Amino acid sequence: MSQPLVECIPNFSEGRRADVIEAIVRAMKEADAIHVLDISSDADHNRTVVTFVGAPPAVERAMFAGIRKAAELIDMTHHEGEHPRLGATDVVPFVPLRDVTMDECVAMAHRLGQRVGEELGIPVYLYEAAATRPERENLAWLRSRKFQYEQLREVIATDPQRMPDYGPAELGRAGATVIGARPPLVAFNVYLTTDDVAIAKRIARAVRHSSGGLRYVKAAGFLVEGRAQVSMNLTHYEKTPVQRVVEMIRREAARYGVGIAFSELIGLAPQAFFVEAARWYLQLDKFAPDQILEYRIQQAEAESRALPEEEPPVPEDAAQIVAAVQPPPRTPAPFVQAVAEGSPTPGGGAVAALAGALSAALAEMVARLTVGKKRYAEVEETMRAVVEAATSLRKQLVAAIDEDIAAFDAVMNAYRLPKNDPTRADAIQLAMARAAGVPLKVARLAVDAMRLAEKTARHGNKNAATDAATSALMGLAAVEAAALNVRVNAAGLRDAELAARYRDDVLALVAQARELRDTIVLIAEERAGIA
C-alpha cells in the first residue's frame, strides 16, 4: 500500500557556495527519511531550490532541520543577488501529492511556522492556502524587488501589516521565512537573444497576470549569465499552459527585434506539463495519454499485480459471526449542540463556513449523480472537473470552521493581555485582521461553490436540479453571514485602508452571490418543471 506523499520545494538564499548547500541538504536527510529529487542552484540569483518528497511527518522534520542549518550558515546582512529574498530559508511551500489534502499541508505549514518562530526565533509569514490574511495569499505582497530583507528589517517592529504570523517582530541575520501550502507550481525561465534586461522586464510585464497579462503567471526580468531572462512561476500550468506563455513571449520579443535563445526548467515538473506542450506543438488533437508506451506498460504492470494467479484460501474462521457495522451518523448533532450551548464559539462565522461546505457538498453530489450517465456523456469531463473542484472547496470550508474559532479565540486572548502590555494594541490589531480575513476567505470559497452549483444546475442531472438550487441557497447564506463577520471585525481596525479593502471585497462577493442565487434558482426551476 502506498504511503501519503508530500512535496516540499524550499528556496535557500545561497547559490554560490556549494559546501553550504551540501550542509543544508545533509542536515535535512539526516533528520528523517526523505527523498531529495533535485537541487538547482543559480549564482546570479544567489539562490538554490531543493525539491524533496516524503511522508508528511518526515518532510516536516526535515524542513525544520534545513531551516535551522541555513540560519547557521547564511548571513542575510551580507547577502546579495538578483532574486528578491527575505531570509536564509526564503520560501517553503508544501504541495500535496498523494493521499494528502491541502488542509493537511496547511496544518503542516502552521506547525512548522510556530516551531521555527518559537525555537529558532525567526519571523514566519504564512502564504497561499495557509495565509491568515487575504493579502498574504500572494507571495508578491510579502516579498518583491522593491520590498525584501532590507526594507522588512526597517518596518517589521512598527508596521502592523508586516507583523509575522509566528516568531518575533525582529529581523536577525537569518531574516524571515515564508511558509505555505499550494498546488504544484512550475518554475520556468526563457532566455532572450539579447543582453538588454530592459526588454526582458517589458516582456515580463506583458505576460504576468498582475500587470494585465496571462492568468496564473508571475514573471520578472533579469540579466543572467550575460543574457536577458524572463523568469516565471506558472502557478496553474493546466489552466495557463506553458505553450501559451512561450508563444506570447515569442510575439512580444519580436516587437523588439529579438527572439528566444532557449528556455529552462527550474527543479521538476509533472508529466502532464510536458505532455500537453508536446500535444499542442505537434498538433496531436486526437492524442490520448495512454498512447505513451511507458504509461501503457505501467498500467499493465499494475493490473498484473492487482490480480492474483489463484483465489486465496478461505480462512478457517471466516464463517464466525461478527458484530454488525453501524452506519455513520447523518446529522451533525455534536456541532449543532456546541453552537446552541451559549459559548462564544462556535458562532456565526463557523456556521457560515459550515453552510459553505454544504453548498460545495451539494454541488459535488449533483456532479457525481451526473458522471457515468449515458444521457450526460457530453458533459462528463465538465462534471468530473466539478467533482474535483467541489471536493477541494468542501474540505477547505470544513477546515475554515476551526480557523474561524481559532481567530475569535485569538481576539479574546489579545484583549485579555494586561492593558499596560506594550504589545497589546498590535496584538489586538493582528487578531482583528485575522478575524476579518477568515470569513472573507469563507465568502470567496462559498462564491466558488456557487459557481460550481451553477454548472450542475445548468448541465447536471436534471433530476437533482433542485439540489443544485439548494447548493446556491446555502452558498448565499454562507456569503451573507461571513460578510457580517468581515464587516464587524474590519470596523475595529486602525488601518482604514485595510478595513476599506476588506469591506469592499466582501460586499462585491455578496453582490456576486445574490446574482448567482437568482440565476441558479431560475435554471433549476425550469429544468425541474416547476417554473
Angle at 45 between CA 215 and CA 123, to 5 degrees: 80
- Measuring CA to CA, how many Å separate 445 from each of 62, 196, 351, 368, 389? 32, 43, 14, 20, 11
CA angle 474, 475, 478 (to 5 degrees): 90
CA distance readout (Å), 94 to 53, 54, 486: 10, 11, 28
Catalytic one of 45, 79, 83, 459: 83
For residue 370, what is the enclosing H or E element?
none
Cis peptide before 4 (omega within 30 of 0): no
Phi, psi at 337, each rounded to 5° = -60, -40
Rounded Cα distance between 82 and 272, Å, is 30
Residue 264, C-beta contacts closer than 8 angstroms, at least 6 positions apart? 188, 189, 190, 191
Q: How far is CA 119 from the centre of its chain?
A: 26
Give residue for cell 458522471.
371
22 Cβ contact list (under 8 Å, min separation 6): none
Concerning whether 83 is annotated as a catalytic residue, the answer is yes
CB-based contacts of 219: which residues, under 8 Å, 6+ apart?
203, 204, 205, 207, 208, 213, 230, 231, 232, 233
- Round to whole Å and give the CA distance between 403 and 440: 12
State the CB neighbour count (10 A cutoff) for residue 31.
19
Catalytic residues: 83
